Chains A and B, each alone.
Chain A
Amino acid sequence: MAVVETRSLTKVFKEGELGAVNNVNLETREGEFLVFLGPSGSGKTTLLRMIAGLEAPTAGEILIGGKVVNDMTPRERRIAMVFQSYALYPHLTVYKNIAFPLKAQKVPKELHKQKVEWASSLLGIGGLLQRKPRELSGGERQRVALARAIVREPAVFLLDEPLSNLDAKLRLSAREELERFHRRVGTTTIYVTHDQVEAMAMGDRIIVLNKGYVCQFGTPKEVYDDPADTFVATFLGSPPMNLIENGDVIVGFRPEHFRLAEEIKDSAKVIFKFRVENVEYLGAEFILSGLLVGGRADGKKVIARLLLGHEVGVGTTYEFGVPERHLKFFDRSTEKKVPARAITWQ
């Protein structure tokens, strides 16, 4: 097990172009499950590939277990990586796929069988060892890829969107399995995803990336409750945080905090008139979208999340509100977080 660290890590693919990864500093903790979260093109995969040794950094350092590994080949870094496409060797059986890293790293042949059996039983694919990858389902392939990654007992695990090729139902169970698996082997893991739900559910900590820059680095709770800028605020959470410009600040509040005014117990609250334009019934809750009416925020589009047990009609205006402690403030020009302040809404 080891700690991964990057110092001012930068990758520029073409001279003169914007960097794919810009000046990234991060440090994992021992045995941590760290998630790189960002939309496509945010540089999260490039960052992972640099750590893996598949991409050479333009500037900066990568350290694994305290040693600078910039000039080391992937094999010398003692990392394992699971690719988005799994990258199983199609001409080899599952057994040979899993045994390949052992062969390549010259592990004595007598140990192969025992190690392959250990890895495959850990992932419950003991019965598939003689099959070829094309005869496996998506979920089975993912497990084979994981087994191939753990069989050599790597210092660090790198996972590049390993769930994105699975259908929605399978993704949920695979996610749980991956969490259990991580608890069991306890290896430091870096996980890349564009899915904020996955990131929130699995990560010990999350690094939110946008355009190659780190926007925020923190626990899921910190990132969700206290976003560092408007990008993080809108990227995490579904539906995203409501943002309303007011003077030189942008005020944000989450849809679940935007409720009928009479239900808010807090004495410090902001009241809005909210005209409901659309209602989505999602079983356990409603998603209401509509416009604020009157005051400085007149005509702003907002979304509310409401538990069942309310009668809401489209086209009707209601009195909604947000407890003041749930308001977030961002600077209007930099879009970065600023301390809470008193503002007027009228």
Chain B
Amino acid sequence: MAVGQAKIKSIGAAQSPLLGFAMFSPAILYIVLVVGAPFLLAIFYAFSDARIGSDSLHFVGLENFRSILQSPSFRKALQNSIIFTICAQIIVMVCANILSIALEKPFRGRGLVRFLILLPWVAPVSLGTIGWKWILDSIYSVITWVLVWAHIVKPYNTPMWLGEPKLAMASVILVHCWRLIPFSTVILLAGRTAIPKEIPEAAAIDGAGFWRTLFQINLPMMVPIISVAVLFGTIFTFTDMTVVYILTAGGPFDSTQTLPSYAFATGIQGSDLAAGAAVSLFLVPVLVVIAYFMLRLAHRAEVG
């Protein structure tokens, strides 16, 4: 009898809208405070002349957007963001695929290798990037040292990894790939192990070799999971400023500036809050499109 009553009570509680709301509210509060409020503030600032250290605030309409669209630095940052994201995603996907194939079958020490591969993702991004800053340093670079030792470059004409625009961009992209590969590898590994073992076996019996099985069977079957990895990776790359900020701070001459780092440089370091807010709003359309595709994927996964 007591059990029955407890049951009825718990059902009653679950049906109460108040309790449901109470359970939900921390999540809502979190999103409103940490995401919603800054977002609305950014929209508000983007249409104003807010500056750090000034207490006047006027509505200026689209003036901020007009001026940043005319700025060559902004256009360079937008272009860089796109190049940065696309290149990083391509490299990450190719490497993550290779790694996931290599790590699928058991071998001695696979656990250790998996752990090592996951390290860049686990380590704090700033620490890892500072390590890379040393590796790519103009004087102390180990890469340069190895290249000189191997007589590939001359000691008096070493590459300035972070000092020449093209090399700096490549360095930033590669360091970002180094960070993202573990994440994508883990996702693709999960996707690969989800393929029933008989399917590649059937392909082998049907006469397909390694490449045909990879490109016509395994990869097409992994499309949903690859999309997840690409969408997440795109968000991480497109909105990330840590790597750029630590490695090059956008230099040399804004050649590695991306939208987030440019927004930070303009809005916080340059004190022009309004312009910084306007720059960062350019991230929104891209992120909305990605969010749409992610929701669609999630929906499809739910419906089956």
Cα distance A75–B206 in the bound complex, in angstroms: 6
| B196, B203, B205, B217 interface centre (most CB from chain A within 10 Å) | B205
Interface centre among B204, B212, B220 (most CB of A within 10 A): B204
Question: Shortest Cβ distance from B144 into chain A, in angstroms?
Answer: 46
Q: Are A81 and B202 in contact (CB under 8 A)?
A: yes
A-chain residues with CB within 8 Å of residue B198 when the two chains form the complex: 83-85, 87
- Give Cα A180 to B196, complex, Å: 30
- Give the total of A residues in contact with B, Cβ under 8 Å: 23
From the candidates A52, A80, A87, A103, name the one contacting B196 in the complex (CB within 8 A): A87
In the bound complex, how far is the Cα of B205 from the Cα of A288, in angstroms?
48
Report the minimal beta-carbon distance from A237 to chain B, rounded to whole angstroms.
32
Contact A87 B201 (CB under 8 A): yes
Contact flags A75-98 to B (C-beta < 8 A → 1, else 0):
100011101110101110000000
Q: Does A197 contact B (CB under 8 A)?
A: no
| Beta-carbon contact of A105 and B205 below 8 Å | no
Query: Which B residues are in CB contact (< 8 Å) with A87?
Result: 196, 198-199, 201-202
Interface flag for B208 (CB, 8 Å): yes
Smallest Cβ-Cβ distance to A134: which chain B residue:
B304
Contact A52:B205 (CB < 8 A) given known A83-B198, A89-B199: yes
B217 touches A74 (CB 8 A): no
Structural contact, A89 and B217, CB atoms closer than 8 A: yes
* A75/B202 in contact, CB under 8 A: no
Would A54 and B204 count as touching, CB distance under 8 A?
yes
Given contacts A79-B205, A104-B207, A104-B208, contact A85 B196 (CB under 8 A): yes
- Give the shortest distance, in Å, between B201 (CB) and chain A (any CB): 5
Q: B205–A81 contact, CB under 8 A?
A: yes
Q: Given A90-B221, A91-B220, A91-B221, is A104 in contact with B206 using a C-beta cutoff of 8 Å?
A: yes
Do the beta carbons of A75 and B199 come within 8 Å of each other?
no
Q: What is the number of residues of chain B that contact chain A, defined by CB distance less than 8 Å?
A: 18
Cβ-defined contact, A54 with B201, below 8 A? yes
Given A87-B196, A89-B217, A91-B221: A101 and B201 within 8 A (CB)? Answer: no
Give the CA-CA distance A84 to B199 in the complex, in Å.
11
Distance in angstroms from A96 CB to nearest chain B CB is: 9
Which residue from chain B places its CB closest to the CB of A100 in the assembled complex?
A: B206
B201 near A83 with CB under 8 A, answer: yes
Shortest Cβ distance from B202 into A: residue: A87
A305 within 8 A of B: no
Q: Which residue of B lies closest to A76 (CB)?
A: B207
CA distance A80 to B209 in the complex (A): 15
Quick check: A73 and B204 within 8 Å, CB to CB? yes
Instruction: Please tell me if the beta carbons of A74 and B205 are within 8 angstroms of each other in the complex.
Output: yes
Tell me whether A143 is interfacial, beta carbon within 8 Å: no
CA distance A292 to B202 in the complex (A): 53
By CB atoms of chain A within 10 A, which of B201, B207, B212 has the most?
Answer: B207
Q: How far is the CA of A289 from the CA of B221 in the complex (A)?
A: 53
Instruction: Point out the residues of chain A lying under 8 angstroms from B212, CB to CB.
Output: 103-104
What separation, in Å, do the CA atoms of A79 and B199 have in the docked complex? 16
Chain B 189-232, CB within 8 Å of chain A: the 1/0 string? 00000001011011111111100100011001101000000000
Which A residues are in CB contact (< 8 Å) with B204? 53-54, 73-75
Q: How far is the CA of A253 from the CA of B199 in the complex (A)?
A: 45
Q: Is the CB of B205 within 8 A of A75?
A: yes
Q: Which of B196, B206, B220, B223 contacts A101 (CB 8 A)?
A: B206
The residues of B that contact A83 with a CB separation of less than 8 Å are: 198, 201-202
- Give CA–CA (A79, B201) in the complex, Å: 13
A148 with B206, Cβ < 8 A, contacts A87-B199, A87-B201, A104-B212 known: yes
Across the interface, which residues of A come within 8 angstroms of B196, CB to CB? 85, 87
* A105 to B201 alpha-carbon distance, docked (Å): 15
Which residues of A sit under 8 angstroms from B223, Cβ to Cβ? Answer: 91
Q: Which residues of A contact B220 (CB under 8 A)?
A: 91
Q: Within 8 Å CB of A101, what residues of B? A: 206-207
Contact (Cβ within 8 A) B202 A104? no
CA separation between A81 and B202, bound complex, in Å? 7
24 A-B residue pairings within 8 Å (CB atoms): A54-B205, A74-B205, A75-B206, A75-B209, A81-B202, A81-B205, A83-B198, A85-B196, A87-B198, A87-B202, A89-B199, A89-B217, A89-B221, A90-B199, A100-B206, A100-B216, A103-B212, A104-B203, A104-B206, A104-B207, A104-B212, A105-B207, A148-B206, A152-B206
A residues within 8 Å of B by Cβ?
52-54, 73-75, 79-81, 83-85, 87, 89-91, 100-101, 103-105, 148, 152
Q: Give the A-binding residues of B (Cβ under 8 A).
A: 196, 198-199, 201-209, 212, 216-217, 220-221, 223
Given contact pairs A83-B202, A152-B206, enumerate 18 new A-B contacts (beta carbons under 8 Å): A53-B204, A74-B204, A74-B205, A74-B207, A75-B206, A75-B209, A79-B205, A83-B198, A84-B198, A87-B198, A87-B202, A89-B203, A91-B220, A100-B203, A100-B208, A101-B206, A105-B207, A152-B207
Closest 3 CB pairs of A and B: A75-B207, A87-B198, A87-B202
